[in-house]
Amino acid sequence: MTQDIATPPAPNKWLNVRVSADEHTRLHNHFKTTTCTTFSEYIRNLLFQRKIVHYTRSKSLDELLAQLILLRKEINAIGRNINQALRLFQSGKSDKERVFWADKITQQLHVFSAKQEELQRTINQYADQWLRE
């Protein structure tokens, strides 16, 4: 048994309203911060006092994203260094050369481990902050 869901009729009547340039700019700026897909939809929601969902930006989230982007770049650079050292290790002709590259790989893995811990601390810091709110 299917249940018929009534869909509201599509708007087909025009309602012209004059506003000043300043009012139009303010309305349009508010519209840009909403989830409404069209300006007409936004105006109808205002007119009939329907719920309007606005996008918001969190300063703490912006800070977190900046830190995460920086950490991602650093981790990618470390990964490239490890790959290069590993290729040179595998192509090493002598044991002395392989030991040298093994030490370089170990150093890069320690740097990577430190960055991983920094990433974990950053995530935990923001998680604690958000869970408190």
**Domain end marker among 35, 56, 77:** 56
Find the mean pLDDT for residues 63-73.
85
The pLDDT value recorded for residue 133 is 55
- Say if 100 falls within a structural domain: yes
Mean pLDDT score across all residues of the chain: 85
Cα-Cα-Cα-Cα dihedral of 38, 42, 44, 49, to 10°?
A: 160
Do 86 and 52 belong to one domain?
A: no
Are 50 and 66 in a shared domain? Answer: no
Q: Does residue 7 lie in a domain region?
A: no
pLDDT for the residue 2 = 58
Residue 69's domain comprises 59-132
Are both 67 and 120 inside the same structural domain? Answer: yes
* Among candidate residues 84, 85, 81, 62, the one with its CA nearest the CA of residue 73: 81
4 — pLDDT class (breaks 50, 70, 90): low
**pLDDT, tens digit (0-9, with 9 covering 90-100), for 93-126:** 888 988 998 898 899 899 989 988 888 888 888 7
